[in-house]
């Protein structure tokens, strides 16, 4: 009887050790596909009360999870690197956004820098189909691509008022036969609550954000373009330009900010330069 109890205790201890080892392996790297700028913030946020020149980072995320390597957004297309903008984007967009991205800042090289290759990436989550977020999905032909179904429709046939720039068909016209996990709302990626995909439309028809549970850092919310930067939340809240729907935009902003407040979870924005300079280019465990 005593023996059986000891065995049971040992078995339980092993199980617990196994679980905690797995959970502690999950870590997140915050990087960027270079920056845009400088330009007047009012070009992005027309309601912002004063003119000021800003740079913005093009945030991307690499999650090393026990169930597989995940990339959240793939940044600007590699053709845009090292001054190649007009070979891939319209001249108007190049002169407005002023992309500064070196070849080393493209997602494949960012992965290499951390000791991974594009082939090792199991899952690519794409927040939305704008050129600075979906730009390099074709570097991941063997991954599972997680995106809202309605966003794929928008990518291939954007609303008329959103054409002529932010959706670059050449970024994904070779990806039509990829493995897409098309979603219609929220999704628990690994079925264990550690990576929750949150439907946050408004900026585009099918924009999605991600909420993560990290062993040491705790819960973090990666808004991407549901909330560009802290300035959008100042004062009464300054609405971003370029929205598919302002009503949906506000619902998504409120969803994320209330989640932040209720769960006491930091909100890491899609294009906030102050946050990136302080917290980017490092691991979060």
Instruction: Give 100 or 158: the residue with its C-beta nearer to Zn ion.
Output: 158
Residues that bind Zn ion (CB under 5 A): 130, 225
Strands 195-199 and 187-188: antiparallel
Round to whole Å and give the CA distance between 105 and 109: 6
Strands 27-40 and 53-65: antiparallel
CB of 203 to Zn ion, least distance (A): 6
Instruction: Give 58 or 189: the residue with its C-beta nearer to Zn ion.
Output: 58
CB of 44 to Zn ion, least distance (A): 10
Contact 203, 243 (CB under 8 A): yes
Instruction: Give 172 or 284: the residue with its C-beta nearer to Zn ion.
Output: 172
Backbone angles phi, psi at 269, to 5 degrees: -80, 165
* Closest-approach residue to Zn ion (CB): 130
CB of 237 to Zn ion, least distance (A): 18
Instruction: Give 23 or 242: the residue with its C-beta nearer to Zn ion.
Output: 242
CB of 128 to Zn ion, least distance (A): 6
CB of 61 to Zn ion, least distance (A): 15
Instruction: Give 208 or 275: the residue with its C-beta nearer to Zn ion.
Output: 208
């Amino acid at each position: 009887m005593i023996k059986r109890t000891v065995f049971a205790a040992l078995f339980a201890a092993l199980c617990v050790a196994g679980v905690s080892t797995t959970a502690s392996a999950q870590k997140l790297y915050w990087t960027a596909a270079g920056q845009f700028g400088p330009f007047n913030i009012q070009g992005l946020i027309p309601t912002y009360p004063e003119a000021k020149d800003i740079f913005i980072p093009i945030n991307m995320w690499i999650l090393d999870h026990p169930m597989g390597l995940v990339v959240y957004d793939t940044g600007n297309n590699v053709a845009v690197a090292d001054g190649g903008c007009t070979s891939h984007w319209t001249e108007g967009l190049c002169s407005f956004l002023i992309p500064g991205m070196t070849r080393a800042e493209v997602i494949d090289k960012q992965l290499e820098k951390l000791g991974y290759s594009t082939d090792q990436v199991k899952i690519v989550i794409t927040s939305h189909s704008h050129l600075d977020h979906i730009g390099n999905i074709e570097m991941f032909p063997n991954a599972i691509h997680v995106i809202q179904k309605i966003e794929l429709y928008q990518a291939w046939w954007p609303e008329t008022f959103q054409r002529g720039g932010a959706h670059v068909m050449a970024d994904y016209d070779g990806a039509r036969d990829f493995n897409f996990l098309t979603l219609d709302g929220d999704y628990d990626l690994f079925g264990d609550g550690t990576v929750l995909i949150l439907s946050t439309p408004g900026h585009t028809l099918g924009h999605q954000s991600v909420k993560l549970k990290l062993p040491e850092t705790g819960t973090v919310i990666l808004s991407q373009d549901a909330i560009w930067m802290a300035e959008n939340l100042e004062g009464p809240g300054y609405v971003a330009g370029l929205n598919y729907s302002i009503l949906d935009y506000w619902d998504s902003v409120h969803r994320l900010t209330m989640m932040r407040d209720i769960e006491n979870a930091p909100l890491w924005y899609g294009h906030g330069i102050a946050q990136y300079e302080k917290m980017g280019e490092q691991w979060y465990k």
